[in-house]
Structure 1
Amino acid sequence: MQATTQPVFFKQGPKPFSLLLIYASLSLALLLVDVRWQILQPAREAVSVLLYPLQWLATAPVSAAHRVSDFLVSQTELQRENRKLQDERLLANAELLRLNALRQENEQLRHLLATRDAQHGKGALTEVLYDDRDPYTAKLVLDRGETAGVKLGQVVIDPLGVVGQITRIQPLTSEITLLTHKGHTVPVQVLRNGLRTVVYGMGKENALQVHWMPLNADIREGDELVTSGIDGTYPAGLPVAKVSKVDRNPGLAFAQVRCLPAADVDKHRFMLILDEQRALPPQPPAPEPFTPKKSRKKETL
């Protein structure tokens, strides 16, 4: 009888432990050789090139999430910084405007002080509180009144010339009528030749005008008009106006002379009230009325 043999279902080979030792020895030897001579560097580079797409796909979601997060954070920070810079710019602009206004006021005050010194120190600085409530009048309300020694008729000037005259006083405030007020008059003379005349105000929005000027009068465009001082109210020599137009129409009896105020009557905040008033001699008494004498014939009859 022949002995039966069992079929071989599994391939016989080295045991797993033996294979582990073999592969571990090979790996160790390969590591030592690679450390010494770098023989696997080309293989690593090739493998890294082949695996780069897989690495990019694996890290793409995370990188995209980081970029979106950074973008949102950056936009928020930029908006916050932009808002902060805009607020600082607005504050800086407001501060610059305030400093410019203060600088202009200081310059105006220096000019007024110089003008007061030129008037031998006779004058009081005043500040404009507001315009008169009537829009059809050219008047201003000042912060000095009767308690500060303000009197009716005092002249108000700015660094450029005459502004107006005190026409109403109260205990704490006073009212000034500007040159441009309709019907306001100022005795003046032409600085160039001494020709005397009177300047009339024509309204808040209109220029000044000289009335009753003969056609042949020696007055021309560009002439400067200063106070003549003959009324005892305005000191002599203060700038009042400048002739802007002279119309000598032969069909009219008088020349049409228009002027512009020398002072900035509606711009300045601070002004100077002059307290110099010249005392004029009293006016001569009025003559006695004329009475005709009776004729002698009537007496004899």
Structure 2
Amino acid sequence: MSLVGHQPPPIFRRGPAPLARLFVFVALCLVLLVADLRFRYLEVLRNALSVVTYPLQMAASTPADVVRNASRYFGTLVDVQLENAELRRHQLGAGERLLRFEQLEQENLHLRELLQMSQRVQTKSIAADILYNAPDPFARKVILDRGTQQGVEAGLAVLDANGVIGQVTRVHPVQSEVTLLTDRNQSIPVSVVRNGVRGVLYGVGRGMLEMRHVLAEVDIQPGDRLVTSGLDGIFVPGLPVATVTRVDRDQDAFARIECEPLAAIERSVQVLVIGRAAYPPPPPPPEPAGGR
């Protein structure tokens, strides 16, 4: 069978050459671009396509956004934790400095009050700090950080900013022991500021004092202020000691007079050791036995 003049089926027919098709398509694109730039007739089509494809764009960008937001969240969380830790450190440091400042302020206040007390007494005084309580459960004693090297002597009075707290009873080279007024074995001669009535004040424990050897009819009232009388030649006269809180005249010939110390005996930290105004004269010699 001869194939001369045979025509291929329509499905196998070849169209224009590829170069010609390329030229046609390029020309069509240029025409559309120029027409769109001049008349902007494709603006509505672009807007419609952007609306239709927006969900697809969001779905495509969601994984990247999740990764980016997660990294930002965890990075911010770490920064916040570090910042909180730094703020806590600063807060602790500020609190510690505030406590030190308050303590120094209280110490300065006490020292100023002690200075005023020293100026009122007008005698030699030695500033000291109370180190600790003496290890004796049956006595009220404290240990000072001053001793013989600083001029402390046995028998000297010890004051805080408000009044007498005790008396030096034992002295060492760099420390000294003070027996507090509230000790049961401690006594101090006093007088009433209002009328000059004299007596002896004894410690009774529990932070209280008792004035003894005063007749029941003597004029002493609650609220009277007691100061050192100076009759013992040891305590400087006029040092504030206590305030009368209760007077009981119903027991016997002598009144029972309860007093509260003016000084913070159990709470003082800074104190003054007060020297003697003058040493007392020696006692007179005993009379010879058997005559004048």
Of 108, 112, 115, 1:113 maps to: 115
Q: Equivalent residues in 2 for 1:39-50 (5 A)? A: 39-50=41-52
State the identity as a percent. 39
- Do structure 1's residue 276 and structure 2's residue 272 form an aligned pair? no
Determine the structure 2 residue equivalent to 1:23. 25
SS in 2 for 1:202: strand
Instruction: Verify the 8 A CA contact 2:123 2:277 in the aligned structure 1.
Output: no
SS in 1 for 2:164: strand
Determine the structure 2 residue equivalent to 1:187. 189
Post-superposition offset of 1:96: 1.4
Of 161, 167, 177, 1:159 maps to: 161
Q: Which moved more, 1:211-220 or 1:95-104?
A: 211-220
Taking the aligned partners of 2:191 and 2:32, their CA distance within structure 1 comes to 118
Q: Which moved more, 1:96-105 or 1:81-90?
A: 96-105
Taking the aligned partners of 1:158 and 1:206, their CA distance within structure 2 comes to 15
Q: Equivalent residues in 2 for 1:103-252 (5 A)? A: 103-203=105-205, 205-248=206-249, 250=250
List runs of 5+ in structure 2 lacking aligned partners.
Answer: none
Post-superposition offset of 1:31: 2.2
**What is the aligned length?**
289
Q: Which moved more, 1:36-45 or 1:156-165?
A: 36-45
| Partner amino acid, structure 2, of 1:241 | A
Provide, for residues 44-82 of structure 1, a one-character-per-residue CA deviation record: whole Å limited to 9, x for no partner: 222111111111111111111111111111111111111
Provide, for residues 82-131 of structure 1, a one-character-per-residue CA deviation record: whole Å limited to 9, x for no partner: 11110111111111111221222222222222222223351111122222
Residues 6 and 127 of structure 1, relative CA distance in 2, 3 Å threshold: closer
Taking the aligned partners of 2:221 and 2:24, their CA distance within structure 1 comes to 125
| Partner amino acid, structure 2, of 1:233 | I
| Partner amino acid, structure 2, of 1:263 | A
RMSD: 2.7
Taking the aligned partners of 1:29 and 1:217, their CA distance within structure 2 comes to 131
| Partner amino acid, structure 2, of 1:260 | E
Residues 42 and 198 of structure 1, relative CA distance in 2, 3 Å threshold: farther
Taking the aligned partners of 2:141 and 2:265, their CA distance within structure 1 comes to 10
Taking the aligned partners of 1:52 and 1:22, their CA distance within structure 2 comes to 32
Post-superposition offset of 1:201: 0.9
Determine the structure 2 residue equivalent to 1:299. none
Of 72, 75, 78, 2:77 maps to: 75
Residues 36 and 227 of structure 1, relative CA distance in 2, 3 Å threshold: farther
Taking the aligned partners of 1:22 and 1:102, their CA distance within structure 2 comes to 96
Residues 40 and 260 of structure 1, relative CA distance in 2, 3 Å threshold: farther
Residues 199 and 51 of structure 1, relative CA distance in 2, 3 Å threshold: same
Q: Which moved more, 1:231-240 or 1:253-262?
A: 253-262
Residues 47 and 196 of structure 1, relative CA distance in 2, 3 Å threshold: same
Taking the aligned partners of 2:12 and 2:245, their CA distance within structure 1 comes to 127
Taking the aligned partners of 2:123 and 2:255, their CA distance within structure 1 comes to 40
Of 43, 52, 55, 1:53 maps to: 55
TM-score with structure 1 setting the length: 0.85
Taking the aligned partners of 2:199 and 2:252, their CA distance within structure 1 comes to 19
TM-score with structure 2 setting the length: 0.87
Determine the structure 2 residue equivalent to 1:265. 265
List runs of 5+ in structure 1 lacking aligned partners.
Answer: 292-301
Taking the aligned partners of 1:233 and 1:15, their CA distance within structure 2 comes to 135
